[in-house]
Every structure is written in structure tokens, then in C-alpha cells.
Chains A and B, each alone.
Chain A
């Protein structure tokens, strides 16, 4: 079993829809990261959180430490949100353990 599981693997939405991507993990963590990988391949960090909720523009990330679960929400989705969204948690070596990613496609 992977230590970090994301769902769904692929997601297609219409512009304007509310989107939720889920991440479950099986290891103890000090922080969980959400990253975005653009179609061109570049990776950028979106959020790093260890409790509660964070918001940046139309993106909201939540985490439930007891349930070992995090969600990434996108409100009023737009075609430019099309990307792969990656969840990662800190491993025992201090490195990040990554999920396989959720590929999001937002249609106009």
C-alpha cells in the first residue's frame, strides 16, 4: 500500500465547477504539502499545512490530522487550473513522500 494515496487519479470538470481532490496518508507527519505540476512539467508549491485550513485565492486546502486526510478545493475552476496536483508528506528521512498525483482538466 502506498503511504500517500490520492483520489481521483483523473478529473475532468467544466469551467466554473467546484473541484475537490483528496489525499490520504498512512504515516505520521509534521506537514503536508500540495504542489501543482504544470503541463510543461514545472512544479510549484501551493500549500504547506499541519493543521486546519489555508486559503490562497480560489484554492483552499484542509487537513484532518486524526483521520490522516487532506483535501484541496478549487472554487470557480478555470481552464488555466488544468494541471497535475500532487500531495506529499514528510518521511522519516525528512524527505517528502509523494502521491502519484491527480490530473485535472478543466474544459471551457
Chain B
């Protein structure tokens, strides 16, 4: 099993550009999450999904969109990138909710200039 995979590993965007961060898992997990990690701060939840077709906002959803058309994939879309979105983004998955172990992807380091 590959576990949780994320692409790309690194990306530099200009202000106003858009991009999609890809996330996939092959563990048949129902729950998937997107977090961002800023220097010196704990991970913050952006969006999460409890199953295909179901998504919900987390703590910091502004400026982002997600979709979950399949169990495996959970892409994160940034529209009109801003410097405040410079961060490291982690995707994670778990079989069920927050009481279960979460498996993390390797992260995407995004810089918006």
C-alpha cells in the first residue's frame, strides 16, 4: 500500500494564481482531512470529508475549496492565491472519526509570492 500520497511536494505560486493540491489514499478510509501547518503553530484543519460526496469546513476554510467524488481522492483547490496561504499542507485519512489513528501524507510546501 502506498498509504496517503500528495502531489506536488513543492510549489511556488504568484499572487492571484490558482492550483489544486492532490491527495489520494489506498486504505479505503472514509475520513479524509486537509491541514495547514504554519511555522511555530499547530496544524489547523481546513476541510474534511466523512465519505464520498460529503465535505465540511474546518477551522480555516477561507480561500480554499474541496471535493470528494471518490473514496480515494480528496483534492484541495486554492483560488486566487494570497501570501497568507504560504504554508505546508498535509492531507490525512482515517477509517473513522477523530478517535481513530490518522495517517498523514508527506506534505506540500507552498509559497505564494
Contact = CB atoms under 8 A, between A and B. Distances in A.
A95 interface: yes
Contact of A45 (B43, B45, B99, B102): B102
A14 B42 CA distance: 26
A98 B101 contact: no
B98 interface: yes
Nearest to A40: B106
Interface in B2-48: 33, 40-45, 48
Interface string A31-45: 101010000011111
B97 A94 contact: yes
Interface string B34-72: 000000111111001010000010110000000000000
Contacts of B98: 30-31, 90-91, 94-96
Interface residues of B, number: 26
Contact-residue size bin, chain A (C-beta under 8 Å from the other chain): 20 to 34
A95 B98 CA distance: 5
Contacts of A96: 43, 45, 98, 102
A94 B59 CA distance: 12
Interface string A78-107: 000000001010110111111111000000
Nearest to A44: B104
Given A95-B45, A95-B48, A100-B40, A45 B101 contact: yes
A98 to B, nearest CB: 4
A48 interface: yes
B106 A31 contact: no
Contacts of B50: 94
A72 interface: no
Given A95-B33, A95-B48, A96-B45, A43 B104 contact: yes
B74 interface: no
B95 interface: no
Given A33-B102, A93-B56, A94-B97, A99 B42 contact: yes
